[in-house]
Every structure is written in structure tokens, then in C-alpha cells.
Amino acid sequence: MTRLMQTAVEHFPIAGSFTISRGSKTTASVVTCHISEGVFAGMAECVPYARYGENIDSVLTEIETIRPRIEAGIDREELRQMMKAGAARNAVDCALWDLEAKTTGNRAFTLAGLAEPAPLTTAYTISLGEPEAMAAQTEQYAHRALLKVKVGTADDATRIRAVRAAAPNSAIILDANEGWTEANLAYHFEVCAESGVALIEQPLPAGHDALLSSIRRPVPVCADESVHKTEDLPKLAGLYDAVNIKLDKTGGLTEALRMRDAARALNLKIMVGCMVGTSLGMAPAVLLAQGADFVDLDGPLLLARDREPGLRYEDSLVFPPLPALWG
């Protein structure tokens, strides 16, 4: 049966602003991919990320380039081999998962060979700001089990201590977004250990990972910008304790599942993260995150409005997607 593909760009306002070491934004812009086959249709979204050389136009062009193969019936494995890892492939790959679920009458987790998913404890992100502002924001969410705190300045000690004081009972992931340096790395590590931080995400710029081999790591360290696909993992084993798997980096659920299994084989802990997007982007990641050591799927919670229907969130829990959303 002939397939038809459509793409669209949607913009969702962020509640306030979202700030990391590289800058701030007030809108989440997503590209959606809609693939239909007769009366059935699969849909997914991706978030182009400038840090990886992506923008809305480049992602749309990538998807359009593969249109003839998609409409001719390409499968996910062929797609993985034909498109590079990144946001464009993620939108197509996850739309194909959704389409297969609908055409076969099976849930996506069954197609992936996974057990029925359960609710997960997700982090909630605290944006980078002055220590007093970060502490005030943290106080609002101190009831949450897990917080992800954005840092990445030359001196984050005051920020780390202020956040810990504001949320004494929450587990904390600290995300430096490549913002630390060889000069301040050891100092920040010691402050993190003193403050009971559970995980430090991407402290150094990608490509500077070797520095981690020559320094004591008193807190587990997680790769994010340094790891995109399965082939990146072997060179990071021994330098990092965990890897952050994001569908927009891996280029979809198909590659992400391979990467998860390969990371576990290398004794790396698993974090499943996200860009700032809607429930449609988080839904396939909820399947990937089953059994993960850390889950950061709070994208919709950072928006002023989500798409309908969306994922169900209750405090720190995110529930598996219903078929009306995805999969």
C-alpha cells in the first residue's frame, strides 16, 4: 500500500524561559513527521538543535531528501543506514514505529520486544541563573524526588550549595553543558561530592573527554554532547560512568535501543534525556527509559502548553503514552 508523508513545523511557548550555559530560549520549535498508509497514520516529532548544526530548515530538507524511499515503504533498519543520526531521522523513525503499531494493532513496546512499560520517576529541570534565583526556583520543586540543575559557569560552587540547601531531600543531577574547564573541574567535583550530587552531566566540552582519565571522579560523570550513537561508546568507557541517550541525538528509537544495550554491555549506567519538546517527543523515550538509572523526560512540564492528548504527569512520575498519543 502506498505511503504518504507530510511534515510540519510547530511552536510551543516555554513557561518563562529555559536557560543553560549556552543561552536562553522562550519557545520550543519542533518538526513533526506524519506518515500515512491507507486509513492508518503514524506521527512523531523532533527538536532541531543548533549545537549539532541543526535548524528547522536543515531538518526539513533532510526529511524531504528521503521522501521517495519513505513513500516507497522503507523500513526502520534501512532508514537507520541511509540517514545520519540526528533530529531528522528521529522524526521519521518514531513515525514509522507509530505507523507499524497502528497498522498491526500492536503496541510499540510489543513490537520492540519490551515488557509493558510502567510509570517512571523523571527529573525536573532548574534553569541556570544567579544562585538566589536558582534557590528560589528550586524551593518550588523541592518536593520532587529528582531535580536536574543547569550550571556551567566559571564558579558554580555557590549555585550548587544554594540549590542543595533549597532541596535537601531531592536527588540532584548537575548538568554543566560543557561549561567547565580543566582549571575548575577538580574544584567543582569536590563541591558536588560535598553537596551529595548524584550525577554530573557533560562537565567538559566534547572532545576534551580524555581529561577525565587523569582526575579523581568522586561523583559519577555522564556523557551527553560527547555521545550520539552506538559507535561513540567504546572510546568513552573508562572516562564516563554513564551516558545520556536522547532520541534527537541517536536519530530515533531504533538506534537508541541498540545504544542502550551496548552501553550496558560496557557497564555504563543509562540516563534517558530529552530536548525541550512536547509529549509526542517524549512518548517513545518513555519506552527506552524503562529500567534506566536516571530519567529526564520533563520537556512538556517546561512548556506553557502541551499538545493534546499528552503524557500524564503526577508530581515526579511520568506515565506511559496512551495509543491516542503515540505507539
Spatial contact of 233 and 264, defined as CB atoms under 8 Å apart: no
pLDDT the model gives residue 148: 97
Q: Give the mean pLDDT of 207-235.
A: 95
pLDDT the model gives residue 20: 82
Residue with cell 552531566: 201
pLDDT the model gives residue 179: 95
pLDDT the model gives residue 19: 80
pLDDT the model gives residue 47: 98
pLDDT the model gives residue 138: 97
Per-residue CA distances from 208 to 34, 166, 185, 237, 317 (Å): 39, 32, 12, 14, 35
pLDDT the model gives residue 18: 84
Residue 285 has pLDDT above 80, yes or no: yes
Residue 120 has pLDDT above 90, yes or no: yes
Average pLDDT, the chain: 96
Domain ranges of the chain: 3-106, 120-318
Q: Collect all residues with Cβ–Cβ distance below 8 Å to 122 and sequence separation of at least 6.
A: 146, 295, 296, 297, 298, 313, 316, 317, 318
**Band (23; pLDDT cuts 50, 70, 90):** confident
193-219 b/e (C-beta count within 10 Å ≥ 16 → b): eebebbbbbbbbbeeebeebeeeebeb
Separation of alpha carbons 305 and 18, rounded Å: 14
Residue 258 has pLDDT above 90, yes or no: yes
Separation of alpha carbons 92 and 71, rounded Å: 11
Give the model confidence (pLDDT) of 125-138 as tens digits: 999 999 999 999 99
Share of the chain above pLDDT 70, in %: 99
Per-residue CA distances from 219 to 155, 199, 203, 206, 292 (Å): 18, 6, 12, 19, 18
Q: Could you list the active site residues?
A: 150, 246
Strand spans (E) along the chain:
3-20, 23-37, 40-46, 120-121, 124-126, 146-150, 171-175, 199-201, 221-223, 242-245, 269-272, 294-295, 313-314, 317-318
pLDDT the model gives residue 79: 97
**Band (175; pLDDT cuts 50, 70, 90):** very high
Q: Give the mean pLDDT of 194-207.
A: 97
Spatial contact of 243 and 268, defined as CB atoms under 8 Å apart: yes
Give the model confidence (pLDDT) of 82-97 as tens digits: 999 999 999 999 999 9
Residue 61 has pLDDT above 70, yes or no: yes
Residue 21 has pLDDT above 70, yes or no: no
Q: Give the mean pLDDT of 238-265.
A: 98
Per-residue CA distances from 29 to 150, 189, 251, 268 (Å): 21, 34, 17, 32
Q: Give the mean pLDDT of 264-276.
A: 97
pLDDT the model gives residue 31: 98
Q: Give the mean pLDDT of 108-135.
A: 97
**Helix 56-65 and helix 87-104, axial crossing angle in degrees, nearest 10:** 50
Task: Return the CATH class of domain 3-106.
Answer: alpha beta
**Band (24; pLDDT cuts 50, 70, 90):** confident
- Nearest residue to 248 (alpha-carbon basis) of 10, 125, 98, 88: 88
Pick the CATH number of 120-318 from 3.60.110.10, 3.20.20.100, 3.40.462.20, 3.20.20.120: 3.20.20.120
